[in-house]
Chains A and B, each alone.
Chain A
Amino acid sequence: MNWTATAVALFQVLVATLVAPLVIGITRQTRARLEGRAGAGILQPWRDLLKLLRKETLQANGVSWISSVGPIIVMASSLLVAALLPLISTITLPLVPDDLFVVVSVLLIGTVAVALIGLDAGSAFGGMGSSRHMMIAALVEPTVLVAVYALSIPAGSSLLSSIVATRLDAPAVILSPVSLLAVVALFVAVLAETGRLPVDNPSTHLELTMVHEAMILESSGRDLAWLELGSWLRLSALLGLVANLMIPWGLATDATVLALVIGTIALLVKLTVFAAALGAGEVFLAKLRLFRVPELLAGSFVLAFLAVTASYLVT
């Protein structure tokens, strides 16, 4: 066992978990300010979380173990993704490299757990959310895999850390059309995976338009806390990945304290910028009709596919 790598991974998980609610806070606050509201402050998600953890947990009669264990699975899958992705450093655990396919599969465990929670209580809204959520997850997967496939060709590896490290060494790659197309495609996929506009409206109050919210309607107390934190952490980790693909500078490549401090600060700055940009962007977007979402995903898939084509066939 490599203790340095383990310590770095744990540190990364800790930072990502602490920051995730703040990322949501920043998005909401930016949005509130741009819409002329005062906003609740960027610490509000943390306060919500602590409040939820102190509350009583209710559950519907006759549910199975999924309802109580599911939230922990969701949270664990997000934590594992945060541990694997190159967020602060490109150092990976020796036996658990951040292989793209592994990361996607770990994310999917979380996706499946939420979908099952949505079905477990047996309410119509939960089933509706679950069904839509799984449809989106199924259609996103080709985009994700093909986009990272395109990115993996210059690096010759499907390890996300080596992809990011290659970009750090040769920044010219970042601005090539291949990489731009792939990163844009990946970004659309991330928006869909994490339930942001224009795929899903995270702040909706109408059950019929909900996707993610509909599945967790019947959860409360600590279950809800884990589900919320899990989805926020997933958003932060994936935003961090996209940020590091676009702007790899600042990422630690060795395990010295200085490099890690710089890496952490760089991550915080990137996440702040991206979160604010996301919040600002969402002001101008409306949610797409559900059956227009496949068109959006097909569009992003085509971008990813063009990226692969171009990278293969252009010598």
Chain B
Amino acid sequence: MSESLYAQLISLTAGTLLLTAALIVWRRSLRASVRLLAIQGIALAGLVAVLGWHERTIELVLVSLLVLGLKAIVLPLVLSRNVLTHDDDREVPRLNPTASLIFAALLTMLAYIVCRPWMGDTDDPTSRAVPIGIALVLIGFLLLITRRRAASQLIGFLVLDNGIATVAFLTATGVPLIVELGASLDVLLVVLILQVLTGRMQVKFGGTDLDDLTELKD
């Protein structure tokens, strides 16, 4: 693979990661968010595959398949089952979408600024994409803070996790397969547990608005 094509593919996949994160902040519909999350998973898998192809390591390609299977297929499916079972698909965020979008832009800028000392003057495409991973982490946090519904909390958590994974792949140039496997299983487990909790909440309160949890303190 030529260097310029490699650089183009890295920026394309990283750009898609950022764009999907911004769109998740923008959209209120949970179904749309889950679809975007799936696209983000594909982009992450693509990023890993490109890295693997460039480094000529079969292990990374395998990891990319794992990422594709888990983040682009399994997790979105699990989530969409949860969303589809409840008719109400609207998120009513605590912060209006316009303000959250502008926050997301500022967070991205912050990510670029904090990464500059590490990036230095290298022209290496992987280190140029690191800030996008950080931005994903920050946007994931923003989603966790501003969203009410349990399902969107999960989405925020997954965006955050995608960010961590992006940074890990880009800086460590390849996480050992076993580590990635462990991390992925962890995420899957967390999602399943939260899924169960959400179900319980649905039964208990008749909704999944996390603000209802404040009633539990008595």
Q: Do A and B come from one complex?
A: yes
A interface residues, Cβ below 8 angstroms from B: 172, 175-177, 180-181, 294-295, 298-299, 301-303, 305-306, 309-310, 312-315
Report the minimum CB–CB distance from A312 to chain B (whole Å).
Answer: 8
Closest residue on chain B to residue A296 by CB atoms: B26
- Determine the chain A residues whose CB is within 8 A of the CB of B71 once the complex forms: none
From known contacts A177-B11, A315-B119, infer whether A302 and B112 are also in contact, taking CB-CB under 8 Å.
no
Contact of B18 among A172, A295, A299, A306 (CB under 8 A): A306
Jot down 8 A-B pairs with beta carbons below 8 A, ordered by A.
A298-B98, A298-B101, A305-B105, A309-B108, A309-B112, A312-B112, A313-B112, A315-B119
From known contacts A294-B98, A298-B98, A315-B119, infer whether A309 and B105 are also in contact, taking CB-CB under 8 Å.
yes
Contact of B22 among A302, A312, A313 (CB under 8 A): A302
Report the minimum CB–CB distance from A150 to chain B (whole Å).
Answer: 12
Q: Is B19 an interface residue (CB 8 A)?
A: yes
Report the minimum CB–CB distance from A204 to chain B (whole Å).
Answer: 25
Indicate if the CB atoms of B112 and A180 lie closer than 8 Å.
no
- Determine the chain B residues whose CB is within 8 A of the CB of A302 once the complex forms: 22, 26, 101-102, 104-105
CA distance A286 to B112 in the complex (A): 36
Q: Is B97 an interface residue (CB 8 A)?
A: yes
- Determine the chain A residues whose CB is within 8 A of the CB of B97 once the complex forms: 295, 298-299
Q: Is B123 an interface residue (CB 8 A)?
A: yes
Indicate if the CB atoms of A181 and B123 lie closer than 8 Å.
no
Indicate if the CB atoms of B123 and A295 lie closer than 8 Å.
no
Complex interface residues of chain B between 7 and 31 (CB less than 8 A to chain A): 8, 11-12, 14-15, 18-19, 22-23, 26
CA distance A181 to B16 in the complex (A): 10
Mark B85-129 against chain A: 1 for CB-CB distance below 8 A, else 0: 000000000001110011011001100110010010101000010
Report the minimum CB–CB distance from B74 to chain A (whole Å).
Answer: 28
CA distance A176 to B14 in the complex (A): 11
Indicate if the CB atoms of A181 and B19 lie closer than 8 Å.
yes
Give chain B's interface secondary structure class.
helix
- Determine the chain B residues whose CB is within 8 A of the CB of A175 once the complex forms: 8, 12
Query: Which range holds the interface residue count of chain B?
Result: 20 to 34
User: Given A172-B8, A295-B98, 14 more contacts at CB 8 Å?
Assistant: A177-B14, A177-B15, A295-B97, A299-B22, A299-B97, A302-B101, A302-B105, A303-B19, A303-B22, A305-B105, A306-B22, A306-B108, A313-B116, A315-B123
Indicate if the CB atoms of B26 and A299 lie closer than 8 Å.
yes
- Determine the chain A residues whose CB is within 8 A of the CB of B101 once the complex forms: 295, 298-299, 301-302
Contact of B128 among A295, A306, A309, A314 (CB under 8 A): A314
Contact of A314 among B98, B109, B112 (CB under 8 A): B112
Indicate if the CB atoms of A313 and B105 lie closer than 8 Å.
no
- Determine the chain B residues whose CB is within 8 A of the CB of A301 once the complex forms: 101-102, 105
Contact of A295 among B26, B112, B113 (CB under 8 A): B26
CA distance A303 to B21 in the complex (A): 12
CA distance A200 to B167 in the complex (A): 41
CA distance A312 to B113 in the complex (A): 10
Indicate if the CB atoms of A298 and B116 lie closer than 8 Å.
no
For B11, B18, B123, which residue has the most chain A Cβ atoms within 10 angstroms? B11
- Determine the chain A residues whose CB is within 8 A of the CB of B12 once the complex forms: 175, 177
Q: Is B156 an interface residue (CB 8 A)?
A: no
CA distance A295 to B98 in the complex (A): 5
Q: Is B131 an interface residue (CB 8 A)?
A: yes
For A294, A298, A302, A312, which residue has the most chain B Cβ atoms within 10 angstroms? A302
Closest residue on chain B to residue A298 by CB atoms: B98
Closest residue on chain B to residue A310 by CB atoms: B112
- Determine the chain B residues whose CB is within 8 A of the CB of A299 once the complex forms: 22-23, 26, 97, 101
Closest residue on chain A to residue B123 by CB atoms: A315
Which 4 A-B residue pairs are closest in the complex by CB-CB distance? A177-B15, A313-B112, A298-B98, A305-B105
For A172, A176, A306, A312, which residue has the most chain B Cβ atoms within 10 angstroms? A306
Contact of B102 among A172, A180, A181, A298 (CB under 8 A): A298
Indicate if the CB atoms of A181 and B15 lie closer than 8 Å.
yes
Report the minimum CB–CB distance from A269 to chain B (whole Å).
Answer: 27
CA distance A175 to B15 in the complex (A): 11
Closest residue on chain A to residue B109 by CB atoms: A309
CA distance A117 to B47 in the complex (A): 53
Indicate if the CB atoms of A176 and B121 lie closer than 8 Å.
no
Report the minimum CB–CB distance from B12 to chain A (whole Å).
Answer: 7
Report the minimum CB–CB distance from B118 to chain A (whole Å).
Answer: 12
CA distance A177 to B13 in the complex (A): 10
Closest residue on chain B to residue A176 by CB atoms: B11
Indicate if the CB atoms of B113 and A313 lie closer than 8 Å.
yes
Closest residue on chain A to residue B106 by CB atoms: A305
Report the minimum CB–CB distance from A245 to chain B (whole Å).
Answer: 17
CA distance A309 to B110 in the complex (A): 10
